[in-house]
Structure 1
Amino acid sequence: MLEQTKYYEDYEIGDGRDTVGRTITETDFVVHAGHSGDFFPHHLDEEFCKTLPFGQRIAHGTMVFTIGVGLTATIINPVAFSYGYDRMRFVKPVFIGDTIKSRVEIIAKEVMEKRPGYGRVTERLTVTKQNGETALVADHIYMVEMKP
């Protein structure tokens, strides 16, 4: 991982970066079900899923989110802190064998009036599949120190 100090003033709307890909496996489904307690048949029962419109098991939305965010975790900024996520949407299903990658892009900045010395930076996370379809979108909000 790369450490990079980037203050609020250093962020520019439109700046972005893409990650490498990650192929989703059956093991991912099983491990995520165990961690989350979500054992719904839509994720784990192959025979049940054959009766559904997609005809196969569907990845947990929270798993796609977790892996998608994890792909972006390559830079450590010691003056930025996650403030939360907004507007998460599961746009298209992800299946075993799909390869996902993430793109993050700065979409907004604003000074935090109630927290002097900090600004809020919003980064749009878009997770896409190998065929270019968008699987997930969410806004990651950071609380970022202003320059001293």
Structure 2
Amino acid sequence: MSLTKFFEDYHLNYERTSTGRTITDADIVLHAGQTGDFYPHHMDEDWCKTQPFGSRIAHGTLTFSVGIGLGAGELNPEAMTYGYERLRFPNPVFINDTLKTTITIVNKYDHEKSPNTKGIVVERVITRKGNGDVVLVCDHLLLVNKNNPQDTL
């Protein structure tokens, strides 16, 4: 979905939640092939049975990609990703876990280098499994054009 939203249109505490996405064995195998990360935590079921988590787990980078992707339903031509901060994976993701992402606007401020034309919107991204366990937390920094930029002569 495409929508036009300027910096002024974002409001603190606005929240949206995605639909669910179930992690499969194929997701983990494909991600390992794409990244070269074939660590036994992701690929060796027998070894994992000897570990505290007891079963193969999804890569953190896979959890991040899916979690962020779930919240990426809005295409805004006035904004772009500026980066991510405070990324954490507090709990593992297993095969057949279904993930949902909630995004909340937690801060907004003028862009340091272009305060008259751009702002930063901080979205708190929290991805949970169906049982409520949090598996991803981070802040997404969105660089957004202002609606009425001031001239900077």
Q: TM-score, normalised by structure 2?
A: 0.94
Aligned residue for 1:135? 135
Larger radius of gyration: 2
Q: For 1:108-147, what aligned pairs fall within 5 Å after superposition?
A: 108-115=107-114, 116-147=116-147
Quick one: distance in 1 between partners of 2:112 and 2:85?
20
Unmatched tracts of structure 1, length 5 or more: none
Aligned-residue offset at 1:54: 1.1
1:40 paired with 2:39, answer yes
Aligned-residue offset at 1:99: 0.4
Quick one: distance in 2 between partners of 1:145 and 1:42?
42
State percent identity of aligned pairs: 50
Q: For 1:1-148, what aligned pairs fall within 5 Å after superposition?
A: 2-115=1-114, 116-148=116-148
Quick one: distance in 2 between partners of 1:37 and 1:64?
16
Which secondary structure state, in structure 1, belongs to the residue aligned with residue 8 of structure 2?
helix
Which secondary structure state, in structure 2, belongs to the residue aligned with residue 85 of structure 1?
strand
Unmatched tracts of structure 2, length 5 or more: 149-153
Q: Match of 1:111, as an amino acid?
A: D
Aligned-residue offset at 1:72: 1.2
* Number of residue pairs the alignment of both structures matches: 147
Quick one: distance in 2 between partners of 1:47 and 1:35?
23
Question: 1 or 2, which has the higher strand percentage?
Answer: 1
Deviation digits for residues 27-56 of structure 1 (CA, Å, limit 9, x no counterpart): 000000011111000000000000000110
Which secondary structure state, in structure 1, belongs to the residue aligned with residue 96 of structure 2?
coil
Quick one: distance in 1 between partners of 2:4 and 2:74?
9
Q: Match of 1:3, as an amino acid?
A: S
Which secondary structure state, in structure 2, belongs to the residue aligned with residue 51 of structure 1?
coil
Deviation digits for residues 123-143 of structure 1 (CA, Å, limit 9, x no counterpart): 011000000111110100011
Quick one: distance in 1 between partners of 2:61 and 2:112?
32
Quick one: distance in 2 between partners of 1:73 and 1:54?
30
Q: TM-score, normalised by structure 1?
A: 0.97
